[in-house]
Amino acid sequence: MKLTKIERLILSNQYRILASLYPDEAKAFETNRKVVEEGYTYQYSWLADHLSSEVPEEDSRYVLDVLDMFSDLLFSFDQLTDKSGIDAYDVKFRGFDGNNETSLMSYARFFVQDLDRYNEFQNHDFNSHMPTTALYSRMLEVYRPIKAACREGMRRLSKDEIIQIIESKKLA
């Protein structure tokens, strides 16, 4: 990472201010200020260690599509009078894998908890403890055209449509 002298000056001043504002963390801020002022480029990456990788917009949209799908599945399932042939577990959002789909899991948690959306998932763990993107992608392929047709008629998913969507995850 390269920083211009102006960027280094700005960062140095910010660390000086932060050290004053947060005395309990002053030592760390002073260390970071020294790294920036002295130009220790090897340590520059340490300055941003606490920052996560960016979540691409397409990944964010994917997470929202998955949340929409499971919200519809759950709501539509709850509205059914005849639930035979459908296990409640199959319409439950399981989250994303904390080891391999961390940014997706983190974004889902942020969107639900911090932005207070999808209240049906508020008390969710969000860690499926297994990869889910392939499974959810298969489900979305079936869900999207069904949902588009539902929007035209402004109706919920039928029992057969729910079964069709949840059966798609079993295909490999």
C-beta of residue 97 within 8 angstroms of C-beta of residue 79:
no
Q: Can you tell me the distance from the alpha carbon of 11 to that of 21, in angstroms, rounded to the nearest whole number? A: 15
Alpha carbon separation from 81 to 77, 93, 144, 155, 158 (Å, rounded): 9, 21, 24, 15, 11
pLDDT at 153: 65
Query: Is the pLDDT assigned to residue 31 strictly greater than 60?
Result: yes
Q: pLDDT tens, 39-93?
A: 999 999 889 888 888 899 999 999 999 999 999 999 999 999 999 999 999 999 9
**Three-class SS of residue 73?**
helix
Could you give all domains of the chain from N- to C-terminal order, each with its CATH number? 5-48 (1.10.287.680), 57-168 (1.10.3190.10)
The whole-model pTM stands at 0.81
Residue with tokens 């490999």: 172
pLDDT at 49: 85
Nearest residue to 165 via CA among 108, 97, 93: 93
